[in-house]
Amino acid sequence: MPSDRLLQTRRVLTLVAIAVPAVLMLNACSGERPVLGVKDGLLTACPSSPNCVSSFAADERHGIAALAFRDDAEAAFSRLERVLRTRDDTRIVEKREGYLRVELRTTLFVDDGEFLLDRERQAIQVRSASRVGYSDLGKNRRRLEEIRRGFEAEAPSRGAGASGRDR
């Protein structure tokens, strides 16, 4: 019969053998933070994979409406930031005038979101994309629609945002 010390050593080695690959797998699911941002007044285009949505995309698979507003542009952008800060799955990683970049987390994955203030169109342009994989099963679209509902719910009564396709 093995000694207590030998049993304890086996348990520790088994735990390490399970934990190390699990940590490595979870780290791989977060992916590298991609180079994103605004170029020529536009957010980065979506790749051909279905795991990205953008208000700048013209095709149905990737297209999503911008966040429309009728109140002051800066007030609307501040409202969006407040909505994002209340979400448990969202972390603001970059903030510049008229631009927010966020990391959006699920249990295993990290997605990237961007928001660009478009004063001319009275809209906030949006983009959300998975860092890894091919399909997101509609998660990025659903998440942006949740953010839209929060943004519209916080709008002043005279300026509740419309959800039409404003580009």
pLDDT in tens, 28-58: 444 677 778 899 999 999 999 999 999 999 9
What pLDDT does 126 receive? 98
- What is the rounded distance in angstroms from the CA atom of residue 125 to the CA atom of residue 101? 12
Alpha helix ranges (H) inside the chain:
4-30, 73-86, 139-153
Tokens of 17: 């053998």
What pLDDT does 18 receive? 67
pLDDT in tens, 63-77: 999 999 999 999 999
> HEC string of 100-164?
EEEEEECCCCEEEEEEEEECCCCEEEEEEEECCCCCCCCHHHHHHHHHHHHHHHCCCHHHCCCCC
- What is the rounded distance in angstroms from the CA atom of residue 41 to the CA atom of residue 103? 21
What pLDDT does 16 receive? 57
What pLDDT does 161 receive? 44
Q: Mean pLDDT by 10-residue block, N- to C-terminus, for the chain (167 residues)? A: 74 62 43 79 94 96 97 97 97 97 93 97 97 93 98 79 44
What pLDDT does 56 receive? 97
- What is the rounded distance in angstroms from the CA atom of residue 63 to the CA atom of residue 52? 9
- What is the rounded distance in angstroms from the CA atom of residue 91 to the CA atom of residue 102? 5
Of the CATH numbers 1.20.120, 3.30.70, 3.30.310, 3.40.50, which one belongs to the domain with range 33-159? 3.30.310
Task: Tell me how far the alpha carbon of residue 47 is from its chain's centroid.
Answer: 16
Domain coordinates in residue numbering, the chain = 1-30, 33-159
Residue with tokens 């448990």: 88
